[in-house]
Amino acid sequence: MREIALDTETTGFDPLQGHRIVEIGCVELINHMPTGAHFHRYINPERDVPPEAAAVHGLTADRLANEPVFAAVVGEFLDFVGESRLVIHNAEFDMRFINAELTRLGLKTLPMTRALDTVAMARQKFPGAPASLDALCRRFGIDNSNRVLHGALLDAQLLGEVYLELCGGRQPDLVLGAARGDGTAAGTAGIETPRAFREPRPHAPLPEEIEAHAALLDKLKEPIWRAEA
């Protein structure tokens, strides 16, 4: 199952007031696990970046002046996400901005039904607890020490880890019983399966086997297997 953990940084809170995307980051997940494939672009918003927004993500108009505009990267972005489900923290916010950019270019918008909101997942799983990305990283022991400022790719990577935990985690004990050497079958670690008792089978050597063994020992120098006389 392919999904995309996605995050954006913007110039403000409302695309209807002319705010634009300044960064977009996507991380590919297969069966909830990151594959290492990602999409990341800084974007020239073609407008100023208010100081309060720059204080959040550190991206100023001067820093973004030589970056491509959204129209120049939209094809790569749409190719990367394909038809996969989008895993987004506070999905309504990012989807509104993405769809505002697509509308501005006369392109088909992405339906909200494609987005899975991890804020809603977290609130359902942990009612009353903080549901910010930082709070969930702390809850699940995910290292977010590099998150001094918000960054779309870093946040998408952290979101991928948080999403995995919200879905049940890595379940490290589910390993092959053969590799564990504890008698458990694959996918049943920690579950003891009773086995029927079997009487030991007699295994006495035949006379010809004893004779062949003695002949072999005669060919060896001081064999340790020969009983003392």
Return the active site residues: 150
Of 2, 21, 178, 192, nearest to 97 by C-alpha is 21
Instruction: Report how far residue 113's alpha carbon sits from residue 85's, in angstroms, rounded to the nearest whole number.
Output: 9
Partners of 4 in beta bridges: 28, 86
Q: How many CB atoms are located within 10 Å of the residue 75 CB?
A: 10
Residue keyed to tokens 């995309």: 4
- Sheet of 85-88: strand order equals 33-42, 21-30, 2-10, 85-88, 115-117
